A and B are shown apart, each in its own frame.
Chain A
Amino acid sequence: DAGITQSPRHKVTETGTPVTLRCHQTENHRYMYWYRQDPGHGLRLIHYSYGVKDTDKGEVSDGYSVSRSKTEDFLLTLESATSSQTSVYFCAIRDADPNEQFFGPGTRLTVL
């Protein structure tokens, strides 16, 4: 398995509170991604990073911010969580070549 961990694995929080999810890799891959997975939808990209301090928005970035201060860590922050952000969040990594993208185990977030 690709060396990707996510923390926490489960979290329940209340509307309006800040939440930070962490993705950690040991593969030294350049690209890191945050997706959310909801019933009836394919995985949807929130943000991704193409290097330390280099990030870009995905299709569902509103309400989320990210940071990457080290190659191995990619943080996803919900500044003020809403119930619509209840979801399963997956981190993925990819190297420049080949293109294989590998996923972490996921974080189940519930916003009450």
Chain B
Amino acid sequence: GESVGLHLPTLSVQEGDNSIINCAYSNSASDYFIWYKQESGKGPQFIIDIRSNMDKRQGQRVTVLLNKTVKHLSLQIAATQPGDSAVYFCASKGAGNQFYFGTGTSLTVIP
């Protein structure tokens, strides 16, 4: 079946540095991807999305890169802040209306 995986379960960065979180997906037919942020005790929060006809999309302090050749997705957070500490995971939209989720990378920002 389809799967989505993250490369690192944990990541620590200094405040002000850039963070990069990576994700791999298995289904080459996936046409839509989302990055979520989840803080402890809360529901996942939508950060940014990208369609498969794009390579890059930018939001406020975040950029998502999509490499369809190697089925890889990354989230870049610029000038990481303490409030960015959370678990981040990606989701891919598979066939039909189902989404598949990675297990998440826990980001810790060191002041």
Contacts and interface: CB of A to CB of B under 8 A. Distances in A.
Interface of A: 31, 33, 35, 40-45, 48, 50, 56, 58-59, 90, 94, 98-106
B102 A103 contact: no
B98 to A, nearest CB: 6
Chain B interface, DSSP helix/strand/loop, else mixed? strand
Contacts of B97: 31, 48, 50, 56, 94
A99 B93 contact: yes
A106 B46 CA distance: 15
16 contacts: A31-B97, A42-B102, A43-B101, A45-B99, A48-B97, A48-B98, A58-B98, A99-B32, A99-B34, A101-B46, A101-B91, A103-B36, A103-B45, A103-B46, A106-B42, A106-B43
* Interface footprint category on B: 20 to 34
Contacts, number: 51
Contact of A100 (B1, B46, B98): B46
Nearest to A106: B43
B84 interface: no
